């Protein structure tokens, strides 16, 4: 094993594209994941999730010599991008996967290695949970990722990045490593600042989505069109309101702000309320479904279908998705599981899930657009004759119901 090989630990939504990007830019990379089935798939030359440009990037990385394994390698630089779930009750980050990955790295690495943590952690986690494990001589770096699912490859190349390090020289060295592919500016700072910026960025977006969601409720109550109001407000040079939707999903915006609420419960008031607003948005959609059923004279809930199961448009990731949240809330109230279809979800995730758009449409009278996938925008004429509740404001059909 050459000393300049990078061992990327955790080959999920962030680790895989990062490893591929480095390898396709001439950096020797070994990708490690504890999931043997995932490693097998990658070794067979197949990607593990769908993302624009990922296949091409994969081919370029294989050409660049990337290899995949379940083993940790002995080398001088590690990038850890394993999941950091959060405890739903305490609202605190669960760093156990990162801690375990660091322990495993420490069991093989030389005494002058650099360990880069890309996983999102709450401010102070490195000091509290990682630093006490690390022996003298090892450099710790926190370089949180910023790429958006749906446009990951482009954003990996173009986004500015943050590198937090104890030791300026180690930070600069890792910044140069990312600069092998990253065309954005790379800021070197300390670890706590890097931790905080990542969580604050996602919190900013969560609070702004909550504002849009709250507006949707106020406008519904007042009998006004929230989209027209946002469109006009956004013509103001200093106003940029986001879009209301059926809720907030994904593993970032719906999770990271809770770290601040969990750690600073008496201080993070606006954030706490914003997260509660976003979390209750699927219940607001349920109310809108009932109202729409009444207006259209539909009484049978088994004739209601949810279009979209992923957490947002044109990705295949269903983590924390508003549709899953809505189904959970609905189960408590209605009992009958609603019909669901998503072109990106091949596996059977929920009861009454369809795998064919036409079959789904022929079995429902009310279509609730939960996700604005390109497919439904392009095939909206298929919805003619149906009652439609468009929670994403993506359709241009006449008579469509809105949030
Ligand atoms: N959403 C709305 N209205 C909007 C925008 C989004 O309801 O106007 C919903 C989406 O439908 C989705 C959720 O919010 O359910 C989150 O989607 P998103 O596209 O806002 O963000 P993510 O979770 O896919 O990616 C975010 C990004 N963070 C920011 O933009 C600050 C990305 O840059 C981060 O790298 C990523 O989190 C992460 O991994 O932390």
The structural domains of the chain, ordered by start, are 6-189 (3.40.50.720), 244-402 (3.40.50.720)
Is 253 a pocket residue for ligand 1 (Cβ < 6 Å)? yes
What does the pLDDT average to over 64-91?
Answer: 92
Q: pLDDT confidence of 3, banded at 50, 70, 90?
A: low
Q: Is it the case that residue 18 has pLDDT exceeding 80? A: yes
Atom number, ligand 1, closest to the C-alpha of residue 250: 23
Q: Is the CB of 249 under 6 A from ligand 1?
A: yes
Is the C-beta atom of 146 inside 6 A of ligand 1? yes
Q: Decide if 240 contacts 231 (C-beta within 8 A).
A: no
CA of 212 relative to ligand 1 center, distance in Å: 14
Please tell me the predicted confidence (pLDDT) of residue 90. Answer: 78
Residue 394 has pLDDT above 90, yes or no: yes
- Mean pLDDT in residue range 261-280: 96
Ligand 1 contact via 262 beta carbon (within 6 Å): no
Best of 250, 257, 274 for a ligand 1 pocket test (most atoms within 8 Å of beta carbon)? 250
Residues designated as active site: 198, 252
Whether residue 88 is predicted with pLDDT greater than 70 in this model: the reply is: yes
Please compute the mean of the pLDDT values over residues 127-148 and round it to a whole number: 96
Reported as a single tens digit per residue, the pLDDT across 160-194 is 999 999 999 999 999 999 999 999 999 999 999 99
Q: Is the pLDDT of residue 1 over 50?
A: no
What mean pLDDT do residues 291-302 have? 94
């Amino acid at each position: 094993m050459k000393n300049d090989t990078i061992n990327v630990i955790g080959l999920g939504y962030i680790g895989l594209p990062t490893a591929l990007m480095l390898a396709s830019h001439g950096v020797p990379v070994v990708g490690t994941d504890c999931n043997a089935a995932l490693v097998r798939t990658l070794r067979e030359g197949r990607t593990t999730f769908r993302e624009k440009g990922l296949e091409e990037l994969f081919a370029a990385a294989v050409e660049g010599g990337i290899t995949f394994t379940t083993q940790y390698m002995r080398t001088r630089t590690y990038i850890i991008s394993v999941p950091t779930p959060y405890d739903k009750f305490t609202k605190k980050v669960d760093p156990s996967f990162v801690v375990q990955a660091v322990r495993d790295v420490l069991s093989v690495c030389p005494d002058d290695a650099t360990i880069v943590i890309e996983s999102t952690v709450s401010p102070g986690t490195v000091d509290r949970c990682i630093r006490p494990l690390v022996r003298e001589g090892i450099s710790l770096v926190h370089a949180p990722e910023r790429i958006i699912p749906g446009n990951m490859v482009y954003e990996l190349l173009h986004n500015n990045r943050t590198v937090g390090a104890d030791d300026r020289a180690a930070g600069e060295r890792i910044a140069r490593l990312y600069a092998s592919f990253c065309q954005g500016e790379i800021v070197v700072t300390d670890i706590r600042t890097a931790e905080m910026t990542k969580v604050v960025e996602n919190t900013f977006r969560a609070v702004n989505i909550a504002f849009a969601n709250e507006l949707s409720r106020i406008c519904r109550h007042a009998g006004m069109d929230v989209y027209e109001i946002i469109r006009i407000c956004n013509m103001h040079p200093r106003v940029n309101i986001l879009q209301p939707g059926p809720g907030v999903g994904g593993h970032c915006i719906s999770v990271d702000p809770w770290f601040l609420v969990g750690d600073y419960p008496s201080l993070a008031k606006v954030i706490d309320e914003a997260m509660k607003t976003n979390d209750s948005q699927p219940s607001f959609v349920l109310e809108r479904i009932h109202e729409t059923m009444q207006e259209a004279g539909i009484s049978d809930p088994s004739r209601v279908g949810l279009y979209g199961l992923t957490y947002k448009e044109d990705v295949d990731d269903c983590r924390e998705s508003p549709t899953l949240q809505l189904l959970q809330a609905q189960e408590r109230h209605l009992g009958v599981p609603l019909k669901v279809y998503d072109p990106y979800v091949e596996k059977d995730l929920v009861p009454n899930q369809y795998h064919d758009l036409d079959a789904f449409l022929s079995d429902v009278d009310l279509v609730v657009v939960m996700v604005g996938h390109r497919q439904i925008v392009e095939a909206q004429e298929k919805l003619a004759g149906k009652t439609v509740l468009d929670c994403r404001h993506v359709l241009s059909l006449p008579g469509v119901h809105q949030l």
